[in-house]
Amino acid sequence: MTSVTGTAGTDDETLIVACTDGPLLVRGPVRLEGSDGRLIEQTRRTVALCRCGVSTIKPFCDGTHKLVNFRTDPQLEE
């Protein structure tokens, strides 16, 4: 797994974790904007973002990556 943090050490810290063969988990405050510029509503402090491209609820993960045998590049996970 790979992770990236922003504003480390504060209550507003955001952590992004790239799950092997799965979604990006975003923990903490995040603002998601669609290609049309509209904000994508979210109600949770942790969201899973699709990386396989097959989710029916994009940009969020619905677990479909397991059905389509999605695999990530191990070199990118280091």
Q: Where are the domains of the chain?
A: 1-78
Q: What CATH topology corresponds to 1-78?
A: Ribosomal Protein L9; domain 1 (3.40.5)
Residue 17: pLDDT above 90?
yes
Largest CA distance in the chain: 38
49: three-class secondary structure by DSSP: strand
* Rounded-to-10 torsion of CA 67, 59, 30, 45: -50
Counted residue by residue, the chain has a size of 78
Please tell me the pTM assigned to this model.
0.78
User: What's the chain's average pLDDT?
Assistant: 87
Residue 62's pLDDT band (cuts 50, 70, 90): very high
8-state DSSP, 12: T
| 23 neighbors 61 (Cβ within 8 angstroms) | yes
d(CA 22, CA 11): 27
